[in-house]
Homo-oligomer: A and B are copies of this chain.
């Protein structure tokens, strides 16, 4: 997608042919800064400190982390060490283990001397496959947007609510939840996006609002509290969110607060869609509420907020009393019964075990 009119991906190999470029997403929306990963540790830090985030981009970054590790030392021991180090950065993201397993599978049987070249080739393939997946999700989601647009008075936009950032910044390009939106915009269908700010890390306010604005998509920022009210008043035509992990029965683990929007969508007859690459499906998990461990993050993410002061300088402020106890669950689980459909790279799939297994017989255990 475009930044200041120039096309970008979220991760790329630099002109030197080996170092890895990323956007430091912690500086958005105030500063657009790219940086270079020079080592596996750089890649691990970029994931852990959320310079990169979003399930697909985390996977792609881990893949390039393995490349950088092989460049330093292509031994089996270092491959295992890189796997463990990168895996430990974000326990909830199933794409992380998928990408690391994939890299290990492609490298294990390759002579040590060929591993660097093989790793870079495979990491590039992972990125291109991710773009192809996002494009497929976008095309299938576009059908849904088009169907809603057909019932709107001419020129009136389809109003789409999204939570967190499942945008192109969360993938290699296009995004997952945003891919149908970008494709509808390119197809000339008027769309307008309600952007949940997404506390505590404000990925909606800082990332989704920024990327939609850069690409020229009409949008309005709202608090996480507002979506239900907008739905009660007929101002939301559909919800599209991403997911960090989807279970075999169609339960959706996504950024905390997603469940509340799904409840409001059901209460108001608003279709609630989840866009996902099949790599985020955890075929071993069934009941998401019971089976998925939820990452607990620092209370400082709630008590302290980062932003720009009136001079544009980055400042951190505290909003709660200094001694207030805080709990900060990063994700919640939306039960499949609240999900209208899963927009996958193979089309729209009902959120249940039978439909998922039928759509992905090659991946599911059944």
Contacts and interface: CB of A to CB of B under 8 A. Distances in A.
Interface of A: 29-30, 195, 197-200, 202, 205-206, 209-210, 213, 219-230, 232-233, 255-257, 259-261, 263-264, 267, 289, 294, 299, 302-310, 315-321, 323-329, 331-333
Contact of A263 (B267, B303, B331): B267
A221 B318 CA distance: 13
A30 to B, nearest CB: 8
A319 B332 contact: no
Contacts of A256: 223, 225-226, 229
B225 A320 contact: no
Number of copies of this chain that the complex holds: 2
B315 A220 contact: no
A220 B325 contact: yes
Given A226-B328, A260-B261, A308-B318, 18 more contacts: A197-B302, A198-B225, A199-B223, A199-B225, A205-B324, A213-B321, A223-B302, A224-B224, A224-B225, A225-B256, A225-B257, A225-B332, A230-B329, A260-B264, A263-B264, A307-B319, A309-B316, A310-B316
Given A199-B197, A305-B317, A319-B305, A229 B324 contact: no
A257 B196 CA distance: 12
A213 B315 contact: no
Nearest to A266: B263
**Secondary structure of the A contact surface, majority rule:** mixed
In this complex, which of A199, A202, A264, A321 has the most chain B Cβ atoms within 10 angstroms of its Cβ? A321
A316 B311 CA distance: 11
Nearest to A192: B325
Contact of A309 (B223, B264, B315): B315
A163 to B, nearest CB: 9
A79 B152 CA distance: 51
A323 B210 CA distance: 9
Contact of A220 (B206, B232, B305, B327): B327
Contact of A259 (B229, B259, B299): B229
Nearest to A164: B225
Contacts of A199: 197, 199, 223-225
Nearest to A334: B228
